């Protein structure tokens, strides 16, 4: 999965990178040998559990699993199925809805981080701890709690809506609302994560900029758009890359919130829940493998596009 070292770590890396390395030349045989020994355990683990499986999945994607074991070569049949199957198109569409809702989390988190950055504001660490709480909570538990809140007959969401005179709904079993209901829970559980990234980003902006802008008569809104947003753009870029990667792999909440008999099941299925269904419930490993490659292409493609277009809006100081 993707990783982006923090700016602090990256700076530290840059610092040491400038130094020349030569002292290790002493006794190269011994150092080399121990270096290999240091790397051996994890290299073995990667080989067995990551690299070999990657090749195998690639092979699987061109085969069909027999009921009694053994796989037969079927060429591009699995990929053809992936491209033609309407449920894949549906899952792709749902996944893009989750991604769009995930991206909506970012502006919310930016505004919250900006509010928490108000000079002299008290209780910031309490707010931060509370907003972050859902992110560390077991997703299975989060799904169950929200199913209860969304319950059509006794749920608190309908209860709260009735106060302002809005009619209740069966949020997670109504095909027209279920995907948004689940997406909302994703937003709820992730906003604290992005908040932490943006708080760190805003803290790194020199206070003088704000003071200078204030002296020049810039109001809070103007300061937000002219100072905070541009100087936060590296953090926003980082967050949006992470957000796209994570949203495209949604599984836990959908799996937990949607029972197998839910009428809205089809309209909430993501690529990964479909993958799970094909691979482990319908015994269609070849199709699942092809689907996984489609997902990887999607992730790689969207990540590439983001890196490609970052020059247009990301300002590195």
| Binding residues for another protein restricted to 162-221, rule: CB under 8 A | 188, 192-193, 196-197, 200, 220
Greatest Cα pair distance in the chain: 79
Minimal distance, residue 168 CB to another protein, in Å: 12
Nearer to another protein, 175 or 220 (CB): 220
Nearer to another protein, 75 or 120 (CB): 120
Residues from 242 through 261 that contact another protein (CB under 8 A): 242, 245-246, 249, 251-252, 255-256, 259
Q: Annotate each residue in 276-295 with x if it binds another protein (CB under 8 A) or - if it does not, as one string.
A: x--xx----x--xx--xx-x
DSSP state of 72: E
Which residue from 52, 73, 225, 309 is in contact with another protein, where contact means CB under 8 A? 52
SS3 call for 63: strand
* 309 makes contact with another protein (CB under 8 A): no
Name the token pair of 187: 């937003």
Judged by CB under 8 A, the number of residues near another protein is 112
Minimal distance, residue 230 CB to another protein, in Å: 21
| Residue 111 CB neighbours (<10 A) | 14
| Residue 209 CB neighbours (<10 A) | 14
Distances (CA, A) of 52 to 46, 102, 292: 8, 33, 16
Minimal distance, residue 249 CB to another protein, in Å: 6
**How far apart are the C-alpha atoms of 150 and 156, rounded to whole Å?**
7
Nearer to another protein, 13 or 166 (CB): 13
* 106 makes contact with another protein (CB under 8 A): no
**Tokens 């949604």 map to which residue?**
250
Q: Annotate each residue in 114-153 with x if it binds another protein (CB under 8 A) or - if it does not, as one string.
A: -xx-x-xxxxxxxxxxxxxxxxxxxxxxx-xxx-xx-x-x
Q: What is the number of residues in the chain? A: 317
Which residue from 91, 110, 181, 272 is in contact with another protein, where contact means CB under 8 A? 272
**How far apart are the C-alpha atoms of 279 and 251, rounded to whole Å?**
14
Which part of the chain contacts another protein (CB under 8 A), choosing from 49-57, 82-90, 205-213, 226-234? Answer: 49-57
Minimal distance, residue 167 CB to another protein, in Å: 16
The secondary structure of 126-180 as a DSSP string is HHHHHHHHHHHS-HHHHHHHHHHHH-TTT-HHHHHHHHTTPPP--TTTSTTTHHH
Minimal distance, residue 5 CB to another protein, in Å: 5
Distances (CA, A) of 255 to 144, 187, 276: 11, 17, 10
* 100 makes contact with another protein (CB under 8 A): no
**How far apart are the C-alpha atoms of 247 and 242, rounded to whole Å?**
8
**How far apart are the C-alpha atoms of 306 and 308, rounded to whole Å?**
5
Closest to 104 measured CA to CA, from 303, 247, 270: 247
Which residue from 53, 206, 263, 301 is in contact with another protein, where contact means CB under 8 A? 53
Which part of the chain contacts another protein (CB under 8 A), choosing from 47-55, 77-85, 93-101, 225-233? Answer: 47-55
290, containing H or E segment: helix 285-309
Nearer to another protein, 231 or 279 (CB): 279
């Amino acid at each position: 999965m993707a990783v982006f070292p923090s700016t602090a770590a990256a700076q530290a890396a840059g610092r040491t990178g400038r130094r020349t390395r030569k002292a290790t030349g002493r006794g190269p045989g011994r150092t080399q040998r121990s270096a290999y020994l240091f790397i051996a355990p994890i290299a073995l683990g990667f080989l067995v559990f990551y690299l070999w499986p990657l090749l195998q999945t690639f092979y699987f994607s061109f085969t069909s699993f027999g009921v009694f074991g053994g796989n037969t070569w079927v060429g591009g049949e699995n990929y053809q199925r992936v491209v033609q199957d309407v449920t894949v198109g549906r899952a792709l569409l749902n996944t893009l809805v989750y991604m769009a809702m995930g991206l909506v989390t970012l502006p919310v988190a930016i505004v919250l981080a900006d509010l928490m950055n108000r000079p002299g504001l008290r209780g910031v660490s309490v707010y931060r701890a509370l907003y972050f709480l859902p992110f560390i909570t077991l997703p299975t538990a989060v799904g169950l709690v929200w199913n209860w809140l969304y319950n059509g007959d006794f749920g608190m969401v309908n209860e709260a809506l009735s106060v302002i005179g809005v009619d209740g709904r069966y949020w997670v079993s109504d095909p027209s609302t279920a995907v948004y209901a689940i997406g909302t829970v994703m937003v709820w559980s992730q906003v604290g994560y992005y908040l932490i990234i943006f708080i760190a980003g805003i803290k790194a902006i020199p206070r003088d900029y704000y003071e200078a802008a204030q002296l020049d008569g810039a109001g809070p809104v103007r300061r937000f758009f002219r100072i905070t947003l541009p100087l936060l753009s590296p953090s926003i870029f980082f967050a949006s890359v992470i957000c796209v990667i994570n949203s495209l792999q949604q599984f836990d909440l959908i799996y937990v919130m949607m029972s197998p008999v839910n009428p809205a099941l089809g309209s909430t299925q993501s690529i990964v829940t479909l993958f799970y269904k094909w691979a482990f419930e319908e015994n269609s490993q070849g199709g699942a493998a092809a689907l996984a490659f489609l997902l990887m292409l999607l992730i790689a493609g969207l990540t590439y596009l983001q890196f490609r277009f970052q020059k247009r809006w990301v300002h590195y100081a």
